[in-house]
Amino acid sequence: MALDYRRCAEEIVSLIGGRENVAQAAHCATRLRLVIKDNSKIDKKKLENVDGVKGMFESNGQLQLIIGTGTVNKVYEEFLAVTGMTAATKDDVKEAAAAAQPAWKRALKSVGDVFVPILPAIVASGLMMGVVEALGKAIPTFAETDWYAYLDMVANTAFAFLPVIVAVSAARVFGGNIFLAAVIGLMMVHTGLLNGWNVGSVDAINGFFGVTDGKIPTWNLFGNIKIGDYVLGSISRHGYQGHVIPVMIAIWFMSKIEKWLHDHVNEMIDLFVVPITTVFVTSLFTFVVIGPIFATLENYVLKGAEWLVQFPPGAMLMGAIYPVTVVMGLHHMYNVIEAGMLSSVGLNTWMPIASAANFAQFGACLAVGLKCRQAKLKTVAVPSALSASLGITEPAIFGVNFRFMKPFVCGMIGAACGSVFGAITKIGATAYGVTGIPGYLTINNPGVYTVLLLISGGVAFGLTLAVWKEDNDEIPGAKVDEPKTTSTPMINEVQASKSSGEVPCDNVVISSSAGEIGQPTKGKIIPYTEISDETFASGVLGQGVGIIPDEGVVYAPMDGEISSVADSKHAIGITGAEDMELLIHVGVDTVEMKGDGFTTFVSEGDQVKKGQKLMEFDIAKIKAAGKADTVVVLLTNSDDYEDLKLS
């Protein structure tokens, strides 16, 4: 019996708390995507039994109801009619879902959005820095060569000017002018300021400013007006190399100021007033407000670390919070502790703590790289983990671990375990600034150091494997929580995967009493249960096959009528003889490509013949976007056929 689309929509609305409980609604090729204001008002048990709803799950603040191709768009139309809502895009729904999430989740998402585009730069620099530094320590004569100096310059450029790169990316996320943001970033590493990595070096301070007391001079913009011990408008004349959070805060503030000015300044003078005012106000906020806050934090961290590192519980605590200080850009201050230890006792016992923390982030990041199924994430995580093993953790922390948080916390736990072991065994180094694998060049007990690395990295690796999983919306190809379905019978076991060299459409991949469905594209056939998306693999959308394509062309596998063509052109529905409902879905999560790389040759309602070209797709673009290129071929009403056979 045909589905009553109106009744389906009405039941959905009533069971999700009514129109007033819906913030946004959209649909893709198979799912109705809803942003709900109050999830406690959803009657989930009844909702999953609504006629037409094949499954449901929640992800990233969205309630996703699996309805099926050719049907979801009709249910969606009735849903809009019932609720009186206007159509929204999937991007609208994502934005609304993000806005409804807790503040800490939105903050983490912002950090991820800022760092994902700049990952290639920091991963490449991190790897090169680790290799160059290790070579310099292993071959002292190489460290004296021009080649070493050149490679060192090339390797550390991205980190030396990291605030500039972060500022530009942050402006894109927060909606500010990227060129004004670049100016703010450049200010924070200006050559007229002491390099931020040297704030703890008395010699560097004295040499740079021509002083003898080892204190960084200040600019007192408003004289000596004091509020307690704080001099109003006092600016410490040091840069922010290696800092991340201060830059992001500054650019967020800049974007707010710029938008406000655009709204309130007359258009005739907007071009002159807005840029100069934005830069001036932001620079004051950055150096007068952010500067003192982080200078104070640095002092507290430094004094606390000096005290805590003296006994095992303190070492365990410092190992755990070390990655947090990396995120805040405060970790360069630890060089003062290390230098002080070497000058007083000749042994740097802080190095094992830093090394445990860095190697734990390596273990967590490696676990993500090995566990994830999305190609793009894997190509970031594995090199980032390698960089962390060499002591350069920024790519691993900002590109992977902190972005997903659970791996970051697992790294903190691993660091705590390794650090307490290092404190108990009292191992140390004869130099500072080197951690991870290169640390073998300076450590006084390589055997114990190996155990420390195994403990910290191993604990973080194991915990991450146990507690972290990919998110279906944010990471294409990942599994989601098992959708609850009303019925997903296995009508026929899929045979072992095989490769077919036959002409597409002549090779039958699905057959039943209603007719046969041919192979719509050339390639290797795999069981639908092996498709890298839980919704497809579970059979909730119907049974069929997956095809690893050899070419980017899709042909009609049967005679029929085009029931749907996705707006993003990646999916086509066909209704064939005896009401067979077929979905051809090219790639996993390719909806996010928004049609780039896809060309369709049919429209909804067209009559097609077997072998007729339906679509072309660019396999290289799909892979470059980090998506699986599997062509999904599913008979969405397969439950109607008891004699269904799959290739």
DSSP class per residue in 301-320:
HHHHHHHHTTSHHHHHHHHH
CA-wise closest residue to 175 among 267, 110, 122, 117: 110
Give the pLDDT of residue 74: 87
d(CA 286, CA 183) in angstroms, rounded, equals 12
Q: Which stretches of 431-484 are DSSP H helices?
A: 446-467
Give the pLDDT of residue 481: 40
Give the pLDDT of residue 307: 79
Q: Is the pLDDT of residue 494 over 60?
A: no
Give the pLDDT of residue 499: 40
**Main-chain phi, psi angles of 400, to 5 degrees:** -130, -65
Give the pLDDT of residue 1: 54
Q: Is the pLDDT of residue 181 over 80?
A: yes
Average pLDDT over residues 449-470: 95
Beta bridge partners of 398: none
CA-wise closest residue to 244 among 207, 205, 189, 190: 189
Q: Which amino acid is residue 442, in one-letter code?
A: T
d(CA 470, CA 480) in angstroms, rounded, equals 8
Give the pLDDT of residue 102: 63
Helix axis angle for 103-115 and 162-174, nearest 10°, is 120
**Pairing mode of beta strands 543-549, 553-555:** unpaired
Q: Which two tokens stand for residue 369?
A: 């790289």
Q: Is the pLDDT of residue 497 over 60?
A: no
Give the pLDDT of residue 23: 84
Q: Which two tokens stand for residue 110?
A: 């912002």
Give the rounded distance of the alpha carbon of 125 from its chain centre: 19
Average pLDDT over residues 520-540: 85
Residue-wise pLDDT tens digits, 426-458: 898 877 667 899 888 888 899 999 999 999 999
Q: Is the pLDDT of residue 473 over 60?
A: no
Give the pLDDT of residue 507: 83
Residue with tokens 């982030």: 361
Average pLDDT over residues 536-548: 84
Give the pLDDT of residue 489: 35
How confident is residue 103, by pLDDT bands cut at 50, 70 and 90? low
* Largest separation between any pair of C-alpha atoms in the chain: 93
Residue-wise pLDDT tens digits, 234-274: 898 988 886 777 888 999 999 999 999 998 998 889 888 99
How confident is residue 483, by pLDDT bands cut at 50, 70 and 90? very low
d(CA 500, CA 539) in angstroms, rounded, equals 23
Beta bridge partners of 325: none
Give the pLDDT of residue 253: 95
Residue-wise pLDDT tens digits, 275-323: 999 999 999 999 998 877 876 776 677 677 777 877 899 999 999 999 9
* Strand, helix or coil for residue 549: strand
Beta bridge partners of 599: 616
Distances (CA, A) of 520 to 58, 308, 524: 32, 66, 12
Highest mean pLDDT among 22-26, 120-124, 516-520: 516-520
Give the pLDDT of residue 486: 38
Q: Is 28 a catalytic residue?
A: yes
Task: Please indicate whether residue 157 or residue 375 has the higher confidence score (pLDDT).
Answer: 157
Q: Which two tokens stand for residue 501?
A: 């060299």
Q: Please pick, among 8, 28, 410, 417, the residue that the annotation labels catalytic.
A: 28
Average pLDDT over residues 577-587: 86
CB 566 within 8 A of CB 572: yes
* Strand, helix or coil for residue 136: helix
Beta bridge partners of 512: 515
Segment among 408-417, 469-478, 534-543 with least mean pLDDT: 469-478
Average pLDDT over residues 547-570: 90
Give the pLDDT of residue 89: 54
Residue with tokens 């039994």: 49
Residue-wise pLDDT tens digits, 213-237: 988 999 998 888 887 777 888 898 9
Segment among 297-306, 338-347, 441-450, 604-613 with least mean pLDDT: 338-347
How confident is residue 471, by pLDDT bands cut at 50, 70 and 90? low
d(CA 179, CA 275) in angstroms, rounded, equals 10
CA angle in degrees (0–180, nearest 5) for 573-532-386: 140
Q: Is the pLDDT of residue 478 over 50?
A: no
The number of C-alpha atoms within 13 Å of 146 and in the hemisphere containing its C-beta is 0
CB 368 within 8 A of CB 452: no
Residue-wise pLDDT tens digits, 369-421: 999 887 778 888 898 899 899 888 888 888 789 888 999 999 999 999 999 99
pTM of the model: 0.51
How confident is residue 488, by pLDDT bands cut at 50, 70 and 90? very low
